[in-house]
Amino acid sequence: MVRKTPARGSGANSKRVLFVTHPACAGHKISHHPEQPKRVEAIEAAVLAHYADDAALARTLAHDSAPAGADDAALARFHSAKHIKRLAGLFARVEAAAAAPIFDPRSGRRGPRRTTLSIDEDTAVMPKSRLAARHAASGAMRAVDAVLGGEGFHSAFACVRPPGHHATPTQAMGFCLFNNVGVAALHARAAHGCQRVAVVDVDVHHGNGTEAFFRDDADLFYASFHQAGDDFYPGTGLAAKNDGQSRPGRAPRVVNGARVAGETGTNGNVVNCPLPKGAGIRGVRSSLEDKILPKLQAFEPGLVILSLGFDALAADPIGGLNLDPRDYAYITRAVHDACPGAKFVSVLEGGYDVREISRGAVAHVGELSRLATGASSAERPSRRPRGASVISEMSSGDSWGSEPSDDESDEVSHLVATMSLDSIDGTPLKAAAKEMNMSLDSIADEPPTPPETTLPRRSPRGLSPGELMPPPPAREVARAPPRSLR
């Protein structure tokens, strides 16, 4: 059988990367929850600042900040009609509650407004969640269009939220409402005829939702390295020998829509590499080079989607794989080069330390730019580069917020402190950002300092969103950790 593999682009965009964002993705906000708008705001600000002062580099990256929202037909390729309808009902309830007056003049009563509704212990919706979730899915679809459609971009990165890889075809969970990479993979089939699609998940958590759909389709491939053990969420993606119930004659255990252990897919199209806490880049490199990449090459996909979680970073308050931001440059190139004939897209998943995910994103997109232009991989700099490294240095150390920089006269410091692109309206930085079709070059600064406190293990059960994290004490660097996350 001859497999149709899209050729690398040869037009004007063949040496450019598309950076996809949407302001609606910052609208979804659950109080005292680690999955906050600052995540995408910080990454977008870091990318813009990193390229603002280099016009030559700026020409290698394009920015689309207004992709259209995903419709029900696109979502229904991955999700059940019941799931879409249920979420629509929840969205409608919180939107109606937000629009209702606090005081009812007809009854003369003052009533509470429930503007946040929980789906499970750690996943909830609020009035702006509908737009955020649909634009997160459509942002991933836009990235696919950029590389498989007529524009012919070399690669694309969708910086969107809420994340998606825990959402199964029938259930929202683990901070995720719609499965963005799953919707994007099936959009590649429906809109571009790309039958064989691979997802490589580098989030610290196993993508149970993505695997739940991909395992039964021989033309879809799912691979993941992820932290496992100590009841780490979501409790799936383990090796068969780690499952006490994986015995002949006994049905495999299924949790959160996926097998707890031993999943290989309908045709060897699922590869799981569980890693112990603290595995570091050596463990990740071994998983990729010895297990994931050989299987990925043999699969021969037409499109590779990187499910890009930054919660494997050493400073992340949830994960514990101890990666450095610059390790994401290696991961990006390794996965990209495994299938040189395939198109390449990345979609943001987790990562909850705002400073570190900004640095990781700069490393990732910087490597995409070098791949697009044929440049070799950058060596780790001995000195901190200019540009986004300033944001990496000045931004908050966690996603629950910290005190702003004392140097409010510095434009970049002020941008990071407020974490809003609106703060640079009318400035040279904003003007440069509007003109540029951007690019990334240098990789940001020195290795992060590990967290000072030991955070509790991740439990698959979690707590309600309002209980995940108490309001942070004033001007403290180390935050009191939540009792359980996701």
Q: Give the contacts of 315 (CB within 8 A, at least 6 positions apart).
A: 353, 355, 356, 397, 448, 449, 450, 451
Residues in the chain: 486
Is 192 an active-site residue? no
Paired strand residues for 345: 156, 305
Q: Check: CB of residue 238 under 8 Å from CB of residue 228.
A: yes
Give backbone dihedrals phi and psi of 274, rounded to 5 degrees, phi first.
Answer: -70, 140
Contact 403, 475 (CB under 8 A): yes
Active-site annotation holder among 166, 187, 336, 364: 166
Q: Cβ atoms within 10 A of the Cβ of 121, count?
A: 19
Handedness of CA 203, 207, 209, 210 (dihedral sign): positive
409 Cβ partners below 8 Å, 6+ apart?
none
> Which of helix, strand or coil describes residue 450?
coil
> 388: part of which helix (H) or strand (E)?
helix 388-394
- Give the residue carrying structure tokens 């737009």: 131
| Burial class of residue 296 in the structure, from the number of CB atoms within 10 Å of its CB (0-12 exposed, 13-18 middle, 19+ buried) | buried
Whole-angstrom distance, CA of residue 65 vs CA of residue 440: 17
For residues 486 and 458, give the distance between their C-alpha atoms in angstroms, rounded to a whole number: 7
Tokens coding 42: 């910080």
Q: Which tokens sit at 63?
A: 């920015």
Give the Cα separation of 297 and 217 in Å (integer). 18
- 182/169 Cα distance (integer angstroms): 9
């252990």: which residue's tokens? Answer: 261
DSSP code of 162? S
Q: Please, is 398 exposed, middle or buried when counting C-beta atoms within 10 Å of its C-beta (0-12, 13-18, 19+)? A: buried
Q: Which of 225, 219, 209 is nearest to 291 (CA)?
A: 225
Are the CB atoms for 322 and 360 separated by under 8 Å?
Answer: no
Residues assigned a catalytic role: 166
